[in-house]
Amino acid sequence: MPELLDLLTRQSRDHALILMDPEGRVTAWLAASEYVFGYTEDEMMGQPLDRMFTPEDLARGLHVHELAVARGHGRAEDDRWQVRKDGTRIWAFGVLTALRDEKGELVGFGKVLRDRTDVKAQIEALRQTGDRAKTVLSTVGHELRNPLSALSAASEVLKLGAGMTLQQAGDLIQRQVVLLRRLADDLMDVARVGTAKLRLSIESLDLLALLREVAEELRPSSETREQQFKVILPEGQVWIEGDPARLRQVVNNLLTNAIKYTPTNGEIALKMTVEGNEAVIRVQDNGAGIAPEELPKIFELFTQVESSMEKSEGGLGIGLAVVKAIVTLHGGSVQVKSEGRGKGSDFAVRLPFTQSKHGLAN
């Protein structure tokens, strides 16, 4: 047993094991201590652990406090950032234990800790996702308000028969119901993104016909913003294997964004080309553009809700995550290019032809 213990204290790559005298000066520098902190036993013997505390913690007197807590309560939790010899920081989970002899006399301290910088990063990412989810919920609240007040106005009309014709009230209700349904669909897709729950029902479809239809559906909202909307598609048909409803959603989300993030009089283009074994759909605009640091995050769920709200465009940061999930399930990929803020955006969706009989046909 002592032999194995000896091997463990010398060979462990995970746990730093440090023994100290009652004043907190190192008397043994064991196991992974050198590996974790970079200091050798010679450098640490007789020294306090102060140099491994961050300047912030030292300023708060944590190095003294921790020993006092262990002295008083037998142990002190020790989960915090620590500084290595080379100046880098690690997040360590550790415990400082007060060691007492049979008479209860304090004879020293033992510290066992493990570098879990990886876990800290995961915790931080979860916290950010939680924060973003809260922002989304409050945005959902805002998005529900407008249709609700419109519907409430329409119901007044139906009750009192005043102000609007029944036809107008009916139209208004229908428009708001479409908005609410879209919101509900987006929210349901959130849970499906990244899980097996997003299912495709694949069939052979003419991609060009689908693109023309979605473009015509969205043309009116682009015209309302007096934008130039160019649809540049080859003649004929392009057959691929795909889920028509989901692919519509992809093109719809990209075009809706292009319209939304491009100002009045701006330009929007929908293009499709066949490149090798792929159909490439491009949605381009000369609008708001995307800053280089935002590009890598743009397809993540809930990304940029805040900045899009700054642009007072609402939005939940769901659309592009859904685009990516659907395209990936089709065996394809989606890329974005932008020269920066205010310089327009260029989205490319690549969908593979799964069988050779598919492709461009006249």
Q: What is the binding site for ligand ADP (CB under 6 A)?
A: 253, 257-258, 261, 285, 287-290, 298, 303-305, 307-308, 315-321, 345
In this complex, which beta carbon is closest to ligand ADP, that of residue 237 or of residue 252? 252
What does the radius of gyration of the chain's CA atoms come to, in whole angstroms? 31
Q: How far apart are CA 306 and CA 294, in angstroms?
A: 12
∠ CA 30-34-39 to the nearest 5 degrees? 120
Considering the complex, what minimum distance in angstroms separates the CB of residue 145 from ligand ADP? 17
User: CB-wise, 288 or 334, nearer to ligand ADP?
Assistant: 288
CB of 299 to ligand ADP, least distance (A): 8
Q: Which DSSP letter does residue 14 get?
A: S
Burial of 268 (0-12, 13-18, 19+ CB in 10 A): buried
Q: List CB contacts of 263: < 8 A, sequence separation 6 or more.
A: 225, 287, 288
Q: Specify the residue, 164 or 187, whose C-beta has the smaller distance to ligand ADP.
A: 187
3-state secondary structure of 296: helix
- Cβ closest to ligand ADP, residue 12 vs residue 308: 308
Token digits of residue 302 = 């809930």
C-beta separation of 20 from 27 below 8 A? yes
Minimum distance, C-beta of residue 243 to ligand ADP, in the bound complex (Å): 19
Element (H, E) at 94: strand 89-100
92 in Cβ contact with 80 (< 8 Å):
yes
Residue 32 vs 268, nearer CB to ligand ADP: 268
How far apart are the C-alpha atoms of 46 and 28, rounded to whole Å? 9
Q: Name the residue nearer to ligand ADP (CB basis): 260 or 358.
A: 260
